[in-house]
Chains A and B, each alone.
Chain A
Amino acid sequence: MTDQNWSILIPEIFLFIWALFIFGLDLGIKRKNPKILGYSAMAGLTITGILLAIFNGGILFKGMFQSDQLAIFFKVIFIGSAFMAVGSSFDIASEKIRHHRGEYYGLILFSTVGMMFLSSASELITLYIGMELTTIPLYVLAAFYKDDKLSVEAGLKYLIVGAFSSAILLYGLSLLYGLTGTTDIVTMKINLSLVFLSYGKIGPGLILAMIMVIAGIGFKLALVPFHMWAPDVYQGAPTPITAFLSVGSKAAGVVAFARIFVNGLIAFASDVMKPLDWGIIVAILAAAAMILGNITALRQRNIKRMLAYSSIAQIGYVMVGMVAASELGIASVGYYMFIYLFANMGAFTIATIFNDKTGSDGIISYSGLSKTSPIFAAYMSIFLLSLAGIPPLGGFAAKYLVFAAGIQAGYTWLVIVALLTSVVSLYYYANIIKTMYFSAEEPTIKIHPSFPANLVLLISVIGIILFGIFPGPILDWALESAKIFAF
């Protein structure tokens, strides 16, 4: 084992140690300045990003840890979302979180480490542990305002449904293990083909395993009908955590899904394998997610709930690219998540800042924001329009790619559903813009975000516009990352 390139683990190890360091910092320093912790968390994430650029590409532990392009791509998304979540937390960290500030940041980093491990996992056990390592800190983070009834309720709901889904996922994984005799995803693929070749069929047991795994990962993705927890948890959890949940945690689910299904069970994505076709299952769930998410979002009055339903719908769009199960499909999913990172984190950051100032999450209280804080109203509009998929913002190119992949793979009906529901989605996104811009009420609130929050917003806006007009670099990278699946 000496010839192994251990250095590819450095980013993860560094981030883990940095999380410990932040705990230590919080415990060690007497005069507690919350900003130091926040900045050090951001610094740690930045350094991890740099380390990631240096140490990557390789396999460790007989393929259990794969530092391939897909993993790297998604790790950047995780680090980005954690960075932005930390950045938008400064205000609440100094006001609302009076205890355990170090833990707050540390747990975000822990969860990020979990996601990073998860995205590198190409083996079921590691994948499951990575999943838990991602989720358990998030349970705690969701309930971090311990005195706030909503927050604790959110944490509890997340925990119970999460544990439930985790059990279902485990059962699915156990069936997969039983059917293939291995926990390694690539071996799994080979074994299944062998069984298929020798028996001519695999039988419906595999579909049971698939559905249970879909359900387990569907929880993380908040895919309909496994989405019920999402609106409540999103509403109750501290807003930066909600943002992190909606981007980081979802991206983790996406990459886990890609690893298991697109890599391991790719052979069953086609119509040829009709009864075992997971593509059609996921396609139906994605359609349901788009319809339900978008329609339910219409009548929401709380911005976090609205964004929760919106993110349910968004994952439906992502899944359109996923079911395509092609190089373009996976690349479009990656690109979509990348843009979604900016748009959603940005929107939630505004919501955080706004909530700090006004204590309200009601959409109605955004009335006239364009007059007092024109810049932030413009930012918010850009985020929402990107989510709605208006060109030339990033969301458009993302949706376009995803739909193109869907049509290429023959899921025309799904793309039609997606397009129709995106018409609906525009209504509620535009509604917020309307409230901000076209409201006769005299606004009183002026928001002044802290420097890191400003930075986060700026990064998001630039990201959306830049990568919307020049999607090239990201898309190329995503395409390269999709190549690892060898379609």
Chain B
Amino acid sequence: MNEYAAVLIFLFVGIGVVLFTFFLARLVRPSNPYKAKNQNYECAEPPIGSGWIQFNNRFYIFALIFVVFDVEAIFLFPWAVAFGQLGLYALIEMIIFIVILLFGLFYAWKKGVLKWV
């Protein structure tokens, strides 16, 4: 419990530090907004459209496969930790698990979604 409490404390301290610096910066910085500040620098072209451009579709499929393998990794982690106790039996299990998921990867690959055109 206690070691995790340390993590928690770290978390809160981390957040606190960030918030504190923001707050501090607000205190000390001069505030003088004027229009020219928002204009393009030197000879730059004015931007066309929004900065929120549409991502390529492929990003999504990569992210998706990432998620699935992220979950797989999460399954691997406790397996690795407990492997000492579990032995060969667990190895077979995990091989089955990975093979099944590898088929997914293979499928995605064959479907050509992993190709970056």
Contact = CB atoms under 8 A, between A and B. Distances in A.
Contacts of A23: 103, 107
Contacts of B107: 23, 27
Name B's interface SS: helix
A20 B107 CA distance: 10
Interface in B49-89: 89
A27 B110 contact: yes
B111 interface: yes
Contacts of B111: 27
Nearest to A27: B110
Interface in A379-421: none
Among B103, B107, B111, the most chain A Cβ lie within 10 Å of the Cβ of B107
A23 B105 CA distance: 13
A1 B103 CA distance: 28
Contact of A20 (B89, B103, B110): B103
Interface string B87-117: 0010000000000000100010011000000
A23 B103 CA distance: 10
Contacts, number: 7
Nearest to B103: A20
B66 to A, nearest CB: 19
Interface string A358-392: 00000000000000000000000000000000000
A474 to B, nearest CB: 36
A27 B89 CA distance: 33
A20 B96 CA distance: 14
A221 B111 CA distance: 35
B100 to A, nearest CB: 9
A272 to B, nearest CB: 45
Interface in B10-55: none
A25 to B, nearest CB: 12
A254 B89 CA distance: 35
B91 to A, nearest CB: 15
Contacts of B110: 27
Interface in A146-199: none
Interface in A1-23: 1, 20, 23
B114 to A, nearest CB: 13
Nearest to A16: B100
A1 B89 CA distance: 10
Interface in A22-46: 23, 27
A313 B44 CA distance: 68
Contacts of B103: 20, 23
A23 B107 CA distance: 8
A27 B105 CA distance: 13
A435 B89 CA distance: 63
A97 B51 CA distance: 38
A184 B110 CA distance: 41
Interface in A122-155: none
Contacts of A1: 89
Contacts of A20: 103
A27 B111 CA distance: 7
B104 to A, nearest CB: 10
Nearest to B89: A1
Contacts of A27: 107, 110-111
A193 B5 CA distance: 40
B62 to A, nearest CB: 19
A27 B107 CA distance: 8
B11 to A, nearest CB: 27
B87 to A, nearest CB: 12
A282 B110 CA distance: 48
B97 to A, nearest CB: 13
Interface in A72-98: none
A27 B108 CA distance: 10
Interface of A: 1, 20, 23, 27
Interface of B: 89, 103, 107, 110-111
Identify the 4 closest CB pairs spanning chains A and B, nearest first. A27-B110, A20-B103, A23-B107, A27-B107
7 contacts: A1-B89, A20-B103, A23-B103, A23-B107, A27-B107, A27-B110, A27-B111
